[in-house]
Structure 1
Amino acid sequence: MNGVTHLLATDLDKTFVGDREALTELLAFFEEQPYHVNLVYNTGRHFQSMQKLRDAENLPAPDIAITDVGTEIRIRNGEDFELDSEWDERMTENWQPEKIEEIAARFAGLTKQPVTGKNRSSYYVADDETAAEFGKQISDAGIPHKYIYSGSKYVDILPVDGGKGQALQYVVKKYQLQDIKLLVSGDSGNDTEMLTQGFPSVIVGNAHPELLAIPEDPTIYRASRGFAGGILEAWQYFHSK
């Protein structure tokens, strides 16, 4: 990550990926610039799922992969990706997945998601009321955690320091990227944290309604175009010079 001047930190599904024509347009635009745009994929997918999506969609390799809703970070080293052990250790502090599972078992409206990440507990949820009560019972039990409800059907329980925003802040600080030209992009509730860190950010035009609740802010651009087209629209808005 030495010499980085421009960086896109983006969610994948329904943000960077979802409109092949728009993604081709975005990548062609980046290629035409006199600078290099480094990539961070910041996704809810686990690492192996991210790699499968890359193969299926012929996506460029990111410089950094933040996966499992900000609970794992890997740095690209040639063709390989190396786990950031410092972040991994932080995620395991006070993490109590067994107790979370015990509480989840009380709810008929929760179904465990088939994810492999060890530092997240993720569920499909039947309705808003079940999601809210589940979060309340975890809090009442005194379990340190971060609760994320997105798309009206997904609940992620993460270590208290986890999440896409916290992970991105960690990367920016570790690699001293505070003064570069950065754009953050997302489409759903689990992107809220990274979109509201004060970095130039874009809510793509096809975003879930839950992102409409984010207050107006000069650092957050609400694109008219969807998917990668919205990213391009915001890049030209923030970084046209």
Structure 2
Amino acid sequence: EQGDVARARQMLGVFLRDVSKPIILAIARPIRKKNLRRLVDAYASDRTLQERANLVVIAGLRDGLGQGCSERDAVIADLFDGVDRHDLWGRVALPRQHSARDISDLYALAAEGGVFCNPAFHEPFGLTLIEAAQAGVPLVATQSGGPSDILPELGFGALINPYDTASLARGLRDVLTAPERELAARRAQRIARQTYDWTAWAIRTQAVMEGVMRGPQGQTVAVQQHDHLLACDIDNTLTGCRNGARAFAQWLGREGERFAFTVATGRSIAEAQRVLAEWDLPTPDTIISSTGTEIWRRSGSGFTLCEEYATLIAQDWEASAVRASLDGTDVRLQPVYDQRRWKVSLFGTISDVPAIEARLHQAGVLARIIPSHEKFIDIIPVQAGKAAAIRFETARRDMTDDSVIVAGDSGNDLDMLSRFDNAVLPANALAELDGLASVYRSSLKHAAGVLDGVQYYRTPQPMLMAGE
């Protein structure tokens, strides 16, 4: 439904001195993890933001304070405190009630020179981000969770550190003042409407459910023989560029009989399948998921967990002991849906690793610590990991290490990139892999870089004479 800008301005007129200004719009439930107070503080910290735009926060529905749960009341009170403490009355709107039509109108108003902001500590997906983008509103959002996939796909917007007020203010300012902002916003709007089409998603969901209902077809077949095993990370290795992903799919369609295609990802099996489907990437023979702690093999129309590998890595592993050893520290667990039977996932950087190692050692807990993306840490069994899972698969296929090609872009790919000679880094690889030697560093990004690396390793390299 097309929103009514004039109606939105009328709605906000009781709050704002100058309703002609663009708006910074946030829509979220009034709970702490949505991090709305930091948005108020970021707005208060930046005079440019206050001069260029008003702040509009839609934080649920209320009849006043003391009418809801204690967390809701505390969050609303904190927002009022922020506005009052920074003398922002007349620049900030905190409407008490709203309708679906009001939301549509506010999106339309935000599309006129404004921005939509989601500063949550972690956002699993971000439905309001999709709604805003489809209405033509540029996005500023947390770098933790779904937005880190959505914004690169749209090609415009800013990802921010939700714990850093300056990062949030900078992201808002950069998007509000971006050159050719309107053109970039319209382009992102077209991509949002094409990529996140609800009818197409319904068709895909139906196909997945039909596959689940049918279940595996036929009996287990013998392992197919291949010349090479190609193991790739997913995020920003195979994804990140639609043209590159399409070229990779076409190449594998031609070369699939020679390559056992495997993905090795930090994501769960379900999330891995979702992202592969969203990017129209081929279905792998094997999915090594959850940072090398699970091996899933293609079986009929689905995937089956390798119990032999699970038994192997489960020795000396107890997730509850890992969590208990971290009690009393400042580390924060990732949400429950990111925890797996053989993986404990935290928020943190490589600087947190020594303290975690000390805690595990003190508790007598055996485990590996895998930092990545400068914000995540996975703790896994000592015998697990992407390299270990790949070696388990190559042994099963009677393949040698020199028949393996691996590709990745972040810290959780380090162990496979450092343990196999035929390793590929796309040009967009993170700085945390800068110390790697003996890898092929492609000048191309994402899947195009993977294809470039495969071609490099398949082309015989000239032998150097002694003394050269």
Normalised TM-score (structure 2)? 0.48
Deviation of the 1:132 alpha carbon: 2.5
Could you tell me how far 1:76 is from its partner in structure 2? Answer: 0.8
CA displacement at 1:120 relative to structure 2: 0.5
More strand by share: 1
- 1:128 to partner: Cα distance: 4.4
Equivalence map 1:162-241=2 (5 Å): 162-178=384-400, 181-214=403-436, 216-217=437-438, 220-240=439-459
Alignment gaps of 5+ in structure 1: none
Secondary structure of residue in 2 paired with 1:148: strand
Is 2:326 the partner of 1:122? no
Between the aligned residues of both structures, percent identity stands at: 27
Deviates more, 1:23-32 or 1:65-74: 23-32
Call closer, same or farther: CA 1:57–1:142 in 2, change over 3 Å. Answer: same
Instruction: Within 5 Å, give how 1:35-184 maps onto structure 2.
Output: 36-113=258-335, 114-125=337-348, 127-178=349-400, 181-184=403-406
The match for 1:14 among 216, 233, 236 is 236
Q: Name the amino acid aligned to 1:185.
A: A
* d(CA) in 1 for partners of 2:421, 2:296: 21
Cα distance in 1 for partners of 2:339, 2:372 equals: 19
The residue number in structure 1 matching 2:164 is: none
Read off the aligned partner of 1:19 and give its amino acid letter.
Answer: C
Give distance in 2, aligned partners of 1:84 and 1:165.
Answer: 16
How far the C-alpha of 1:72 sits from its partner, in A, is 0.5
Gapped runs of 5+ residues in structure 2?
Answer: 1-222, 461-468
**CA deviation after TM superposition for structure 1 residue 75, in Å:** 1.1
**Any idea what the Cα deviations from partners look like across 1:93-126, whole Å, max 9, x if unmatched?**
111211211232322242334314210101112x
Structure ID, larger Rg: 2
Distance, in Å, in 1 between the alignment partners of 2:346 and 2:398 is: 35
User: Which aligned pairs between 1:15-34 and structure 2 lie closer than 5 A?
Assistant: 15-33=237-255
CA distance in 2, matches of 1:232, 1:129: 34
- RMSD, aligned α-carbons: 1.9
Structure 1: how far apart are the matches of 2:253 and 2:282?
12
Following superposition, the deviation at residue 38 of structure 1 comes to 2.4
Between 95-104 and 227-236, report the one with greater CA deviation: 95-104
Specify whether residues 199 and 174 from structure 1 end up closer, same or farther in structure 2 by C-alpha distance, changes over 3 A only. Answer: farther
Q: 2 CA distance for matches of 1:134 and 1:150?
A: 15
Match of 2:71 in 1: none
Q: Secondary structure at the match of 1:137?
A: helix
Report the CA distance between 1:60 and its aligned residue.
1.1
Give the residue type in structure 2 aligned to 1:22: G
Structure 1 stretch displaced more, 130-139 or 152-161: 130-139
Quote the Cα distance in structure 1 between the aligned partners of 2:406 and 2:279: 21
Deviations 1:6-46 (A, max 9, x none): 33110000101111111212232344459543210111101
Change (3 A) 1:96 1:57: same
Cα distance between partner residues in 2 of 1:166 and 1:40:
14
Paired residue type of 1:231:
V
Where 2:338 maps in the other structure, the secondary structure is coil
Counterpart Cα distance in 2 of 1:76 and 1:142: 37
C-alpha separation in 1, matches of 2:352 and 2:398: 41
Alpha carbons of structure 1 residues 199 and 180: separation in structure 2 relative to 1, 3 Å: closer
Q: CA deviation at 1:169?
A: 0.8
| Residues 229 and 403 in structure 2, CA contact (< 8 A), matched pair in contact too | yes
Secondary structure of the 1:202 match is strand
Distance in structure 2 (CA, Å) of the matches to 1:129 and 1:186:
22
Higher share of residues assigned helix: 2
Relative contact order, higher structure (CA 8 A, sep 6+): 1
SS at structure 2 position matched to 1:66:
strand
Q: Secondary structure at the match of 1:108?
A: coil
